[in-house]
Structure 1
Amino acid sequence: MNRLKPLLIATHAVVPLLWAANAYPIERSDTFQIHGFLSQALIVTDDNNFFGSSSDDNGSLEYTELGLNASLRPYNHLLVAGQILSRKAGNYSDGWQPKLDYGVVDYQLIADERRVLGVQLGRFKNPFGFYNQTRDAPSTRPGILLPQSIYFDRSRSLGLASDGLSLYDEERLSNGTIYLQGGVGIPQINSDAEISLSPSNPSLEGKLSTIGQILYSHDGGRINAALSMAQVRSDYQSRQNHQVKGEFVFQPIILSLQYNAENWTLTTEYEYQKRELKDFQVSPYNGKANGESLYVQYQYRFSSRWQGLLRYDYTVTDRSDPNGRRYAAAGQGEDYSRFAKDMTVGVQWKATPNWRFQAELHNVNGTAWLPRQDNEAKDTDQYWNMLLLQTSFSF
């Protein structure tokens, strides 16, 4: 019964949307769309754990994704869209709990050959780098995992989605397109971010935050360049001492660049991030750190079905202490927990238009993005390897 429970929960999440698909009159069927995906991975590590007890002899099967999305355009300028997601990724307390990944009412104020101007109201995916808005659909990812230096999974809710208002503008030029998007809302901060921020697992409550992106796509997407900026704010409350409370502010800036050729794609993104704890009455809690991340990724398409991946991924938590030596000398933890250098090799086989199989191998120095909920900090190792195998289906 324990093995069936996740499937039963996922079924309860998707059945209402399937029912809705059949409930609309036939004359609306040309505007109603429903899609979904599921994936299952096996993760094996020689040291440390990633998404479950991956360092055990049998590895971990605790990385599963189930999603169902639907959209309807009742009027030419009005779109209603949403997605339900059920996800298991290691020892998260909310694993398998179906959630509204996004749900928006999208109204286009202007829509012609040169310009599209619109507004979204509801829960929208944050425009964050190249991949954040589509990161939960396996078919949109270049590998099984996105570069963890920027698209961190251990605290993914910190920048994933917001409840509020988003404006977007698409300007079509003679040989390219400019996309602008900006939003104001309450970030959906969950327990993953609380655990990752501090071993004491504080309570975080999202506050009004802002995010914006400008993206230029040249020559039909042959060259893409983007700048993303955000200020994510939340109230911070210690669970051990209720007198300890203040504000946590996360401010990332991401520069993104991509070149697409006939058989290969080269992508790089750089992130500079500010993290600050402020307005605490207890002074030791106030402080700030500026980190940075960078990855370079090369994809080669051997054929319509086979694709290879090479990636170097680097992140440091504090630029003023890149090796974590001061952090370790102060007795706060291991020096290698403040950085991570990851070399990744991967391959993808698209067996059918719907089914794909992927494998990737990571050689990692450091544990900056290692999930805390899967590991005891004192038992981690600096150098470790990880093998991931995944199959996914989309429709």
Structure 2
Amino acid sequence: MSYRWRIERLIAWSLFTLAGCLPWPVANADADAMDTLQVHGFLSQAWLVSDDNDFFGPSSENDGSFQYTEIGLNVSLRPLRDVLVSAQVLSRRAGDDDASPRLDHGIVDYQAFSNARRRLGIQLGRFKNPFGFYNQTRDVAFTRPSILLPQSIYFERTRSLALAADGVSVYDEEYLADGTLRLQIGIGDPQAGDDLDETLGLGEQAGSFDGRTSYIGQILYEDGEGHWTAALSAADVTARYQDSAGPIGDGRFHFQPWILSWQYNQEHWSLTTEFALRRIALDDFTNPRLNDVSLGQSWYVQYTRRFADEWQWLLRYDSLANDRNDRDGSQYEADGLGPAYSRYARDVTTGLQWRIHPRVLLAAEWHNIEGTGWLPVADAEDTEKYWNLLLFQASFRF
């Protein structure tokens, strides 16, 4: 059992212990609280096949790759009417990732005020970041419109940074005459995993990034009839690199994304689009070649069609440029830093989902891709500019 898993299990256990120490309002509160206990879980297994570039394991080899598995178990309990304790443990394998179980989220949620017009509360612990439409539930296949979310917004190559933070989150819901306005603001330390080191080219160095106090917020509006939803997400994320004795020294990573999200819904179809600007800065490193500032740009347009109750078809165009001032990567290649197509990606996706049972989901999708801008670093060797990716996934939940 890894040190990280022991620490995360301790966090989850501490949350439930805290809930157990809260004062009970009535003598039979134990029985009432246990009536609110809920336990759920999910399991997803995918098979990936690509013609050239690998994704999540040796997908370009003859048998493809089965190295994409998601297993989750979540539990929630209300020890008091206004207090919710919830946690989820996740085991995820995506290529050569370590699939050791980890604490995905674990919070004590206190609803300080609630009536017909407003709901106001605070969350303490490891909270999921309110980032775009899908980030807070991105690992549950039943909540995704496709097997892979749009990679221009929901990166797999640096997913740990976006997932969750350890700290405090405040939320407010205003029930207006013509819709609902939701606001969430969080302060905490982000999860800066090994994927960040590798993506920034520091995976072979002795040091590593550690999350520092960061901020994230989202404001979302949904009209009263549920036809359209709009959201604005923003964050100011900081991580420190510790390598005092090494050749590159200590340094800082600073990430400032802005995401504008919009969705329009009708009974049988939905249209969704998100646009993001991402400022990334590296500074304070002893080696000046590492200090850099770039502004990335991402967007996608997605159409989903629901038919025959259990079926959904998806069509999506997804665009990523790692540097807005060098969209096609030509200057990057001219500087001898790598192929131009490694700096962008353009992805046309179509897919089907079939809910054969409320607890069983089968999905298939095909990606036609130009560029490798979002390819995880572990899969980004000996790549080709144009490639295709085919995925099949079976998911179960309880």
TM-score normalised to structure 1 length: 0.91
Instruction: Name 1:204's counterpart in structure 2.
Output: 209
- Which of 219, 244, 252 is residue 249 of structure 2 equivalent to? 244
> How many angstroms does 1:155 deviate by?
1.1
> How many angstroms does 1:66 deviate by?
0.3
- Correspondence 1:113 to 2:121: no
**Counterpart Cα distance in 2 of 1:63 and 1:367:** 19
> How many angstroms does 1:194 deviate by?
1.5
User: What residue identity is the alignment partner of 1:340?
Assistant: A
**Counterpart Cα distance in 1 of 2:295 and 2:60:** 32
2:326 is paired with a residue whose SS is coil
1:290-310 deviation line (CA, Å, top 9, x unaligned): 000000000000121011000
- Correspondence 1:216 to 2:221: yes
**Counterpart Cα distance in 1 of 2:202 and 2:370:** 21
Instruction: Name 1:392's counterpart in structure 2.
Output: 395
The 8 Å contact of residues 247 and 287 in structure 2, kept in 1 or not, is answered as no
**Counterpart Cα distance in 1 of 2:109 and 2:116:** 19
Instruction: Name 2:54's counterpart in structure 1.
Output: 49
1:331 is paired with a residue whose SS is coil
Q: What residue ranges of structure 2 are gaps of 5+ in the alignment? A: 21-28
1:177-218 deviation line (CA, Å, top 9, x unaligned): 000000100001111121112264451111110000000010
> How many angstroms does 1:175 deviate by?
1.6
**Counterpart Cα distance in 1 of 2:37 and 2:225:** 27
The 8 Å contact of residues 372 and 380 in structure 2, kept in 1 or not, is answered as no
- Correspondence 1:316 to 2:321: yes
Instruction: Name 1:353's counterpart in structure 2.
Output: 358
Q: CA RMSD in A?
A: 2.0
- Which of 152, 155, 159 is residue 149 of structure 1 equivalent to? 152
Instruction: Name 1:159's counterpart in structure 2.
Output: 162
The 8 Å contact of residues 91 and 374 in structure 1, kept in 2 or not, is answered as no
Calculate percent identity across the aligned residue pairs: 53
Instruction: Name 1:296's counterpart in structure 2.
Output: 301
**Counterpart Cα distance in 2 of 1:321 and 1:384:** 22
Pairwise mapping of residues 225-240 of structure 1 onto structure 2 (< 5 A)?
225-237=230-242
The 8 Å contact of residues 103 and 123 in structure 1, kept in 2 or not, is answered as yes
- Correspondence 1:306 to 2:311: yes
User: What residue identity is the alignment partner of 1:133?
Assistant: Q
> How many angstroms does 1:239 deviate by?
9.5
Q: What residue ranges of structure 1 are gaps of 5+ in the alignment? A: none
Q: Which moved more, 1:40-49 or 1:234-243?
A: 234-243
**Counterpart Cα distance in 1 of 2:323 and 2:239:** 21
1:207-254 deviation line (CA, Å, top 9, x unaligned): 110000000010243210000000110012459935522101011000
**Counterpart Cα distance in 1 of 2:232 and 2:47:** 35
The 8 Å contact of residues 159 and 232 in structure 1, kept in 2 or not, is answered as no
**Counterpart Cα distance in 1 of 2:116 and 2:273:** 31
- Correspondence 1:277 to 2:282: yes
